[in-house]
Structure 1
Amino acid sequence: MNPPSVLTADLRGRQVRRRALAVLLFILLGLGLALGDTVEPAGHVLDESALMHATTASPPLEVAAPPTLEQLQARIAAVLKREGVPGVGLALVDRDGVQWAGGVGLADRDLGVPVGPDTQFRVASITKSFVALGVMRLVEQDRLDLDQPLRERMPDIALTNDWDASSPITLAHALEHTAGFDEMRFNEYWSPDDGPAPRDALAINPHSRVARWRPGSRASYSNPGYTLAGHAIELATGESYESFLEREVLRPLGMPTARFRRTREYADRLATGYHGIERAATFQPIYHAPAGALLASPRELGQLVHFWLRRGDLGGPAIVGPESLARIERTGTLAYLGTDTNYGLGNYGDVLHASRGRGHDGGLPGFLSSYRYFPELGVGYVMLLNSTHSLPAYLEIRALLFAYLTGGRAVPPPPPPLAPDPKAIAALTGYYGYANPRVQLFGFLERAMIGISVRPDPAGVDLEMLTGGRVQMVPTGDGGFRHWREGGTSIRLTRGDDDRKILFGGLAYFEEGSYAWARARLLALAAANFLTQLAPLWALGWALWAAFRRLRGRAIASGEFALHAWPAAAGLTWVALPLLFMHMARAEAYTTANPLSVGLCLGTLVFAACSAAAVAEVVRAGVARTVPLSVRLVPSAAALASFGMTLYLMFHGIIGVRLWAW
């Protein structure tokens, strides 16, 4: 999940933690590149990565500060009702401790159980914050080294890195998502039990741990990196990472019931998660448990926020020292200057409020979590939702919490913009293409859809998205820019280690490229999609006209039926595949070979076969000349479009894709 950044203002549709599945849905919907809409699958999850991309689909949200706690609760309840979210666990924190912890709404709709301060939630990727604290505790004890090559620390774990001689993958790379790894593969998602040991999880599919670019050259969110960290903890301590973290981090922080596995002792405290307004999510343990398995309550996570606000002051738990805290908040593996949304060690920046904050988000089916602390203000909050379908609820409740915490106080304004440097800005203008896909299998579509043109503006720069939409940014120095309502630098224009111009913010990374090529590719894909979907409707019209002609005694020409039928079959398959996909997503059946996932694989092959047959009929009709050109024109164009799409998808490994074995 990239930290919030305005450079992703046009990515509102990509709100799913399983960005790979969302991208596949885009493909199956006919590469709806020009349409700008997504179809939300039943398994839709707003997770940490999706939130980092999607939270700036509009400028930072401003709300009036609720004057009392009761009014804050009432306004949050109104948001939950409007958005169809069952409940939310909350904690309000300052440097003196957790000032209030509780909830609004229901932890379980069927049972009518309200959310309380000790209701446990799946906090998902917030788990990474505790793994990072545990790692730094061992670093301080000289039992782990952030910069030691992982091949030396764990030679039995498969890691593929073509740059190993000059840029070996280290523990710091894994924790900062800069190792170049792909995201976890589909067969690494759900565990049949409460999760194997990290070593066993890492043995499932080594393909997710292949460096796609030189480690340290850019970031891309990858959960397996934290499973490597969990394994490193176990190698250093000789015990499970869970036992170590519970004893050395969770309990000292004041989190007595937080666990990495479900237990009968606290089963009645666990909230029920919901996919949407009604449907409950099934609790499925995850293989990469160190990346997101923690169960915790809002009161307990409030202790983590308090720890960060106190920053190691005497009287609190001495988990790690000040230098380690500073290292956790810093990206240390990239060669270029970062932004205020940088990802450190299980901790990243947020500039969507009036003051710069830090923390982490998390998302699993049915659960959406967030914590933030604001060092300049000495306050922070916890927000735990038991539904993943509403980005507006996430944004508005966060805004209400911040407004309440800072109401009646002097909130530091965003840093004043610097005067633009026309010469420096002119040197960095141009087109930048997306260059760090989270899931490599579907990265080709992201590269086709996501790009930013940078142009000079009287106030700074103007960013125009490839698929439409623009935003103005003001300079903050050293190539940094922000939206005028953001609390800090959210993007930076600079040069990478190969001296190529780059644009990045948080974990989103763009490289200079050709706008003409990017636009032509986008338009070609949109046209192919339109023609492919047009074919069935055109064939229906032709069939009605042919029937009318037959009634008048005029037979159709030889080959005319096949010329229309095969493009129509390809188009119908193209339209039908998303329905199959949505059933697969609803059943979360993409992790194994089953009728739905196998059917999806076969469906892509059927589309390819129909497209090839359609082109063969076009060639035959053209040679035979039995069908008039005016009749051949549209089905021929549709056939060539679907066949071109087949070649495009085949080149990128989508035709015949076996998600369960990838």
Structure 2
Amino acid sequence: MKRYLSVCFWVFLISVHSLFAQSNSSPETLPELIHEIEKVMQEEKMPGLMVSIVSKDSVLFSGGLGVSVVESGQKVDGKTLFHLYSITKMFTALAILRLIQSGSLHLQDKLRDIAPELVYTNPWESTHPVRLVHLLEHSSGFDDTHLNMIHNTSIHDLKGIDAVNFYQTCLIARWKPGLVSSYANPNYTIVGYLIEKYSGMSWDSYLQKILLEPLGMHYSDFDLRIKEEKRYARGYRFADGHYIPFPFFVPTGNGAASALHSCAEDMTQYLRFFLNDWNIHGEQWLDTTYLSAMETIHSTAGAREGLQIGYALGNSTFYNHPKANFRGHAGGGDGFESLVNYDRRHRIGYAIANNGGKGMWRISVLIENFLTRELPDFVPATLVQQPTKPVLRDYPGYYKPINVRSEQWNFLQRIIGVVKLSQWEGGLIIKPLLGRADTVEWVKDRLFKRKYEHQASVVVGLDENGNPFLQSDMHQYYEKTSYLPVLIQQLLLGLSALAIVLSVIWVLVWLVMVLVRKVSRSQILVGLLPGMAVLSGVIAFRITTVTDYTNRIAFNSINLTSVTIFFTSLCFGLFAFTGLGLLIKQWTHLKSSWIRGILAFNAFFLTYLAILLLMHGWIGVRVWAL
């Protein structure tokens, strides 16, 4: 759940970051900036912070703030290693580009051709095969890491093909590869395996040789297991007035998706590498055409229509700053959050990481405002010839989201995430079920943007079957749908939510009625079972979400936590189904029509919800065996 909320956070950032950046005052000097950052750290409960800020050829700041280990008070310095998690994917993508440059691989290579030994499921393989570019851009359609696949509890590291096979239940294409991006960590485990296969070295040794050593990144590593703890910041969560440390968990897979540990001094070298267009001490690491390729989205339906907001080759755009085009990668997990962003046009960039598990947006706004304080607002390029506005008569209507990141966590998004698309003279109105409508103005072709953005972030088009689609907010992909099925699903879900609330209230009412003998004692269960189902479901949900934040390793095995989740989620279904059956059996014995109505309402909609959860694996879920 925390991973999903992290994605939602970045999507939210797209919408608000630019507005905040324009309205928030910018620190004018470096001491003012550091002072403001330290205030945020205190307010957000961040024990320590790694900071690297670069402008052109100048290193404005490279070091640390706060403490790396709360218990000892050890300070963060320029050599303190932070776990940067998914920023690893940028490095993994660079290794692949090096292999492509050598001729060993090509972006459009079919996975079935370059690694026939790998087992995965793609119903469209004959017409839409999984390709290398799909793995790099997360457009393979594979599911994200399941709950029990985040930490390795074995004493042995996963290597070679075993690291890929570990994610077997995730490697099922859920839509045609190349349709749309959906972030899935197993993609980069496969990429790491390909690096090993075609370089003849372990993926991390290959990166050390071709990149880290030439760059002078002497302190960074991709170690799955920490050897010298004193060199590393420890991750924390803040609860009840105290910092609670996370263990140094071992990532699953081969580490190519999330193993990087780095420090401010090394990330400074990394930023300069990008700001100098991959020139290292006067020598070109790779031709700049590969750098442009890394920053270009190649494979999705939105990209084919001209949309370039989203995930490229291990390199992503997050939002539109009013003065610059920042891009890079974010990472997070188990007490760490990190971000690396750069703008090659203005030769500015920064890398930050905290060990309190807190979002980085407030600090990123401060740094970006500081770096761009003397820059003019972005002026979009003038079109030589004003294009003709597209005819959009086929596009207004209802659209359902397709590319949920996790089938396990996000299946309800396909119901509650439906949007209504309508047209106004200057563009489109996108209205979600909940929340305010989003208005986007026409740019060119079928591309649109929000008023404060300086490049297109929304596109409409036709898929290969001629069906309308909408892509918005980096990579959220919608297909046009009929309104009636949407309305029915949303009504059922809304009424189920009402039944949950009503069932809890009804337990108290029912017990009072039993005590005053308005209801026979033989009928106690028929009124209590819906409430018991809700209580079981709430317990299962609460334990699962708390464990996902505080102790994910509990998902890996049969233990008190995982068994409780299994039992309570099973009880939700059992109590819901039993309640409906018992109500049918005792229907004629219930004399009051209003009691019948309430009980029937609760029983029916809780049973519907139980069936929905059962279809998606949440009734009697065995989290240790997903």
- Offset at 1:595? 2.2
Residue aligning to 2:416: 449
Residue aligning to 2:344: 375
Residue aligning to 1:296: 262
What letter matches 1:650 in structure 2?
L
How many angstroms apart in 2 are the aligned matches of 1:55 and 1:508? Answer: 14
Structure 1 counterpart of 2:459, from 492, 516, 528: 492
- Taking structure 1 as the reference length, the TM-score comes to 0.87
Residue aligning to 2:595: 631
Structure 2 counterpart of 1:587, from 542, 551, 565: 551
- Offset at 1:434? 0.7
How many angstroms apart in 1 are the aligned matches of 2:394 and 2:92? Answer: 41
Structure 2 counterpart of 1:124, from 65, 85, 92: 85
What letter matches 1:248 in structure 2?
I
How many angstroms apart in 1 are the aligned matches of 2:431 and 2:614? Answer: 31
Does residue 209 of the first structure (1) align with residue 209 of the second (2)? no
Structure 2 counterpart of 1:279, from 221, 244, 247: 244
- Offset at 1:425? 4.2
Residue aligning to 1:36: none
Residue aligning to 1:615: 580
How many angstroms apart in 2 are the aligned matches of 1:360 and 1:337? Answer: 24
Q: 5+ residue gaps in structure 2?
A: none
Residue-by-residue CA offset, 1:569-625 (whole Å, 9 max, x unaligned): 223223332333245333322232322222212222211111122112221222x34
**1:358-507 alignment runs, 5 A limit:** 358-389=327-358, 391=359, 394-413=360-379, 424-505=391-472, 506-507=474-475
Structure 2 counterpart of 1:54, from 7, 12, 22: 12
What letter matches 1:235 in structure 2?
K
Residue aligning to 1:10: none
Structure 1 counterpart of 2:181, from 219, 226, 240: 219
Structure 2 counterpart of 1:108, from 40, 44, 69: 69
Residue-by-residue CA offset, 1:428-474 (whole Å, 9 max, x unaligned): 32222110011123443110121222222344222211222222222
- Offset at 1:138? 1.2
- Offset at 1:103? 2.4
CA shift in 2, pair 1:423/1:213, >3 Å = closer
Residue-by-residue CA offset, 1:232-289 (whole Å, 9 max, x unaligned): 1111121111111011111212211110016777532311112335222222121131
- Offset at 1:490? 1.6
How many angstroms apart in 1 are the aligned matches of 2:485 and 2:315? Answer: 37
CA shift in 2, pair 1:266/1:65, >3 Å = farther
How many angstroms apart in 1 are the aligned matches of 2:181 and 2:100? Answer: 23
Q: Tell me the secondary structure at the aligned position of residue 14 of structure 2.
A: coil
**1:236-275 alignment runs, 5 A limit:** 236-261=198-223, 267-275=229-237
Structure 2 counterpart of 1:81, from 18, 22, 42: 42
What letter matches 1:535 in structure 2?
S
CA shift in 2, pair 1:66/1:529, >3 Å = same
- Offset at 1:223? 0.9
- Offset at 1:631? 2.7
How many angstroms apart in 2 are the aligned matches of 1:522 and 1:439? Answer: 20
- Offset at 1:150? 1.7
CA shift in 2, pair 1:491/1:316, >3 Å = farther
**1:289-368 alignment runs, 5 A limit:** 289-313=255-279, 315-316=281-282, 318-335=284-301, 336-354=304-322, 355-368=324-337
How many angstroms apart in 1 are the aligned matches of 2:608 and 2:318? Answer: 42
* Preserved contact between residue 533 and residue 574 of structure 1 (Cα < 8 Å): no
What letter matches 1:432 in structure 2?
Y
Structure 2 counterpart of 1:598, from 563, 579, 593: 563
How many angstroms apart in 2 are the aligned matches of 1:133 and 1:250? Answer: 11
CA shift in 2, pair 1:519/1:556, >3 Å = closer
* Preserved contact between residue 479 and residue 492 of structure 1 (Cα < 8 Å): yes
Structure 2 counterpart of 1:199, from 161, 181, 184: 161
Q: 5+ residue gaps in structure 1?
A: 1-13, 23-45
Q: Tell me the secondary structure at the aligned position of residue 574 of structure 1.
A: helix
Does residue 541 of the first structure (1) align with residue 509 of the second (2)? yes
Does residue 158 of the first structure (1) align with residue 147 of the second (2)? no
- Offset at 1:179? 1.2
Residue aligning to 2:498: 530
Residue aligning to 1:563: 526
How many angstroms apart in 1 are the aligned matches of 2:280 and 2:185? Answer: 34
- Taking structure 2 as the reference length, the TM-score comes to 0.91
Q: Tell me the secondary structure at the aligned position of residue 590 of structure 1.
A: helix
- Offset at 1:178? 1.1
- Offset at 1:626? 4.5
How many angstroms apart in 2 are the aligned matches of 1:556 and 1:411? Answer: 72
* Preserved contact between residue 532 and residue 639 of structure 1 (Cα < 8 Å): no
How many angstroms apart in 2 are the aligned matches of 1:357 and 1:381? Answer: 10
- Offset at 1:52? 3.4
CA shift in 2, pair 1:473/1:264, >3 Å = closer
- Number of equivalences: 611
- Offset at 1:57? 5.3
Q: Tell me the secondary structure at the aligned position of residue 384 of structure 1.
A: strand
CA shift in 2, pair 1:437/1:423, >3 Å = same
* Preserved contact between residue 194 and residue 262 of structure 1 (Cα < 8 Å): no
How many angstroms apart in 2 are the aligned matches of 1:449 and 1:427? Answer: 23
* Preserved contact between residue 604 and residue 654 of structure 1 (Cα < 8 Å): yes
Percent identity, aligned pairs only, is 26
Structure 2 counterpart of 1:231, from 193, 204, 211: 193
* Preserved contact between residue 533 and residue 572 of structure 1 (Cα < 8 Å): no
Residue-by-residue CA offset, 1:108-157 (whole Å, 9 max, x unaligned): 22222232222211111111111111111111111222222222222222
What letter matches 1:276 in structure 2?
F
CA shift in 2, pair 1:314/1:617, >3 Å = closer
How many angstroms apart in 2 are the aligned matches of 1:233 and 1:423? Answer: 44
- Offset at 1:512? 1.0
Q: Tell me the secondary structure at the aligned position of residue 290 of structure 1.
A: coil
CA shift in 2, pair 1:459/1:299, >3 Å = farther
What letter matches 2:615 in structure 1?
F
- Offset at 1:635? 2.1
* Preserved contact between residue 329 and residue 340 of structure 2 (Cα < 8 Å): yes
CA shift in 2, pair 1:591/1:427, >3 Å = same
- Offset at 1:370? 0.7
* Preserved contact between residue 194 and residue 285 of structure 1 (Cα < 8 Å): no
Q: Tell me the secondary structure at the aligned position of residue 340 of structure 2.
A: strand
Residue aligning to 1:143: 104
CA shift in 2, pair 1:487/1:79, >3 Å = farther
* Preserved contact between residue 305 and residue 373 of structure 1 (Cα < 8 Å): yes
* Preserved contact between residue 557 and residue 627 of structure 1 (Cα < 8 Å): no
* Preserved contact between residue 56 and residue 346 of structure 2 (Cα < 8 Å): no
How many angstroms apart in 2 are the aligned matches of 1:583 and 1:347? Answer: 31
- What RMSD, in angstroms, separates the aligned Cα atoms of the two structures? 2.5
CA shift in 2, pair 1:347/1:556, >3 Å = closer
CA shift in 2, pair 1:420/1:151, >3 Å = closer
Q: Tell me the secondary structure at the aligned position of residue 441 of structure 1.
A: coil
What letter matches 2:212 in structure 1?
L
Question: Quick one: higher RCO (CA 8 Å, sep 6+), 1 or 2?
Answer: 1
Residue aligning to 1:646: 610
How many angstroms apart in 2 are the aligned matches of 1:149 and 1:97? Answer: 43
Q: Tell me the secondary structure at the aligned position of residue 284 of structure 2.
A: coil
Deviating more after overlay: 56-65 vs 120-129:
56-65
Deviating more after overlay: 431-440 vs 527-536:
527-536
Residue-by-residue CA offset, 1:267-319 (whole Å, 9 max, x unaligned): 32311112335222222121131001000012212222211111134744533
